[in-house]
Amino acid sequence: MSPEMNKVSKKSDFPGSLLRNQLFIPFAALFILLVFNLIADPSFFKITMSQSNAGNAVLLGPIITILDNGSELAILAIGMTLVTAATGGQDISVGAAIAIAGSTLLRVLCGTNTRPDTLRTTVFAAFLISVLVAMAFGAFNGMLVAIFKIQPMVATLILYTAGRSIAAWINNNELPIISTQASPTFAYYGGYIPGIPIPTPFFIAAACVVVILLVLKFTNLGLYTQAVGINESSSRLNGLNPVFIKWLTFVILGVCVAVAALIKVSRLSSINYSVIAKDIEMDAILAVALGGNALSGGKFNMVASIIGAYVIQMLTTTLYKFQVPSDALPAYKAVVVILLVVFSAPAVREKLERMDIGRSKKTGGVRA
């Protein structure tokens, strides 16, 4: 229908600025929060050395709290970014999946005894099993999305609804508790390793980030997921298997879920199926969005997502600090979402770009 509709783009003059553009959003948010805290209460940046009840020297302070509590979110943001990029949708079942993975972990460690004196196996072995289980549930979601072409949010709604019941069922509705007598080391994953004053979750998150950055560097995961997310049909004609790649991103998210579950369960050495990692899926999705990644899929910037995750945690911690009721937190996050959505809306973007061009070229009324 359109033979000669060659669109000569007028904005081809922002070459490498895309990357800068993308990191701009999370860094700007970070900056705003830092400045706000600096003005409102400089003690936000205070870090003190203390001794924990387990006898370890530990660092304390809001910044450390953010690095600690933001870990699960950062880990989930990794998988969520990939899922978003490849499928143009989000997995809303990660909270429920964490309940399942955490429940599996405890089931393997404790057996049917809810207060074991000794663990039935090593934490590592139990973790591996919970990784497999989480990958299996990820594979289920991935199958619905990739093979049956169900909209990701709709497909993962199934596990979102059923996941916590499945988690409870895995442990017969019991709430196992791992005491320090049973395993002195189990609490390390969500706490501190003796002799290291920085919370362990931070190291786990850092390790995950390093792993994913290495994977992105030494494999084509990034190129493939982006290509599939931007243009599935074209990707297929270039020899890619979009079905497999979409499925794979959900399986990778499953691994992230299992790691996050280990931290979550270790923090309290127990689990509560109905509230563990509650609403974390929304924070993880928000992290991806705050990273400047399009929720409709395609190009992504992993580092930006991870920064986004810590920014959200910083927001949460800041709000707690100023005694905002925790049931009002979603309202504040909603404001962030609204701002993000508005700023990434095509109409606003166009306007901003036009303003930009107008400023730089002093030619206001150029319209394509």
Partner 1 sequence: MKKKVLAAVLAGAMVLGLSACGGGAAATNEPAPAPAATEEKKEEAAPAATEEKTEEAAPAASGDLIKVGIINNDPNESGYRTANDRDLQATFSAENGYDASFAYSLKNDEQIAAAQKFIQDGVDYLLLSAADTAGWDGVLQDAKDAGIEVILFDRTIDASPDLYAASIVSDMDKEGQTAVDWLASQNLDKYDVIHIQGVMGSAAQKGRSGALDAKVAAEDNWNIVTQQTAEWNAETAQQIVQSVIDSGKEFNVIYAENDDMAKGAVAALDKAGISHGVGKDVIVMGFDCNKWALEELLAQNWNYDGQCNPFQSSYIDDVIKKLEAGETIAEKTIIMDEKGFDATTITQEDVDTYGI
Partner 2 sequence: MKENAILQLTGIYKSFPGVKALQNVDFNLCKGEIHALMGENGAGKSTLIKVLTGVYTKDEGEIYLDSHVEPVAIRSPQDAQHFGISTVYQEITLCPNLSVAENIYIGRTDGIYQNWKKMNEGARKMLQSLEIPVEPTTQLGSCSIAVQQMVAIARAVDMDCKVLILDEPTSSLDDQEVQKLFRLMRELKQRGVGIIFVTHFLDQVYEVCDKITVLRDGQLVGEYEIKDLPRVQLVSKMLGKELDDMSDIKSESSAPAELEKADVIFEAKDLCSNAGIKPFDFYIKKGEVNGFTGLLGSGRSECVRAIFGADRVTGGTVKKNGKTIKIQKPIDAMKNGIAYLPEDRKIDGIVGDLSVRENIILALQVMKGFFKPFTKAQANAFADEYIKLLSIKTASADTPIKSLSGGNQQKCIIARWLLTHPEYLILDEPTRGIDVGTKVDIQKLVLKLASEGMSVTFISSETDEMLRTCSRLIVMRDRKVVGELSGDDLTQTKIMSTIAGNEEEKK
Alpha-carbon gap, residue 305 to 284, rounded angstroms: 9
Q: What angle do CA 137, 139, 144 make, to 5 degrees?
A: 100
| Residues whose CB falls within 8 Å of the CB of residue 325, separated by 6 or more in sequence, listed in order | none
Residue 26 C-beta: closest distance to partner 1, Å: 22
By a kind-dependent CB cut-off of 5 to 8 A, residue 65 interacts, out of partner 1, partner 2, none, with partner 1
How many residues bind partner 2 (CB under 8 A)? The answer is: 37
State how far the Cα of 344 lies from the Cα of 204, in Å rounded to an integer: 32
Asked if 16 is part of the footprint of partner 2 (rule: CB under 8 A), the reply reads yes
Q: Is 139 in the site for partner 1 (CB under 8 A)?
A: no
The reply to whether 148 sits near partner 1 by the rule CB under 8 A is: yes
Using the contact rule CB under 8 A, the part of the chain among 282-290, 294-302, 320-328, 345-353 near partner 1 is: 320-328
267 lies in the binding site for partner 1 (CB under 8 A): yes
Positions 277 through 336 that interact with partner 2 (CB under 8 A): 298-299
Per CB under 8 A, does 165 bind partner 1?
yes
Least gap, CB of 81 to partner 1 (angstroms): 23
In the complex, minimum distance from the CB of residue 14 to partner 1, in angstroms, rounded to a whole number: 40
Q: What is the 3-state secondary structure (H, E, C) of 180-192?
A: CCCCCCHHHCCCC
Q: Angle at which helices 280-290 and 329-344 pack, to 10 degrees?
A: 30
Q: What count of residues does the chain have?
A: 368
Minimum CB separation of residue 358 from partner 2 in Å reads 19
Q: Any idea of the CA torsion for 154, 155, 161, 165, to the nearest 10 degrees? A: 180
Query: Residue 65 Cβ, how far from partner 1 at the closest point, in Å?
Result: 5
Q: Which of residues 223-262 bind partner 2 (CB under 8 A)?
A: 223-224, 226-227, 230-231, 233-241
Q: What is the 3-state secondary structure (H, E, C) of 237-301?
A: HCCCCHHHHHHHHHHHHHHHHHHHHHHHHHHHCCCCCCCCCCCHHHHHHHHHHHCCCCCCCCCCC
Element (H, E) at 59: strand 57-60
Among 26-34, 101-109, 202-210, 271-279, the segment contacting partner 1 (CB under 8 A): 271-279
* Alpha helices, H only, 41-188: 62-69, 71-87, 94-110, 123-146, 152-170
Among residues 105, 133, 145, 168, which is the contact residue for partner 1, using CB under 8 A? 168
Nearer to partner 2, 24 or 31 (CB): 24
Q: What is the CA radius of gyration of the chain?
A: 22
195 binds, among partner 1, partner 2, none (CB under 5 to 8 A by kind): none
Residue among 223 and 331 whose Cβ is closer to partner 2: 223
- Shortest Å distance, C-beta 264 to partner 2: 32
- The CA-based diameter of the chain, rounded to the nearest angstrom, is 77
Q: Are 195 and 54 in contact (CB under 8 A)?
A: no
Nearest-CA neighbor of 62 among 85, 79, 38, 91?
38
The pair of structure tokens assigned to 343 is 């700023």
Out of 18, 207, 214, 338, the residue judged to bind partner 2 by CB under 8 A: 18
The residues that touch partner 1, with contacts defined as CB under 8 A, are 41, 43, 46, 50-54, 58, 60-62, 65, 69, 115, 144, 148-150, 158, 161-162, 164-166, 168-169, 172-175, 177, 191-192, 199, 264, 267-268, 270, 272-278, 316-317, 320-321, 323, 325-327
The residues that touch partner 2, with contacts defined as CB under 8 A, are 1-9, 11-13, 15-16, 18, 217-221, 223-224, 226-227, 230-231, 233-241, 298-299
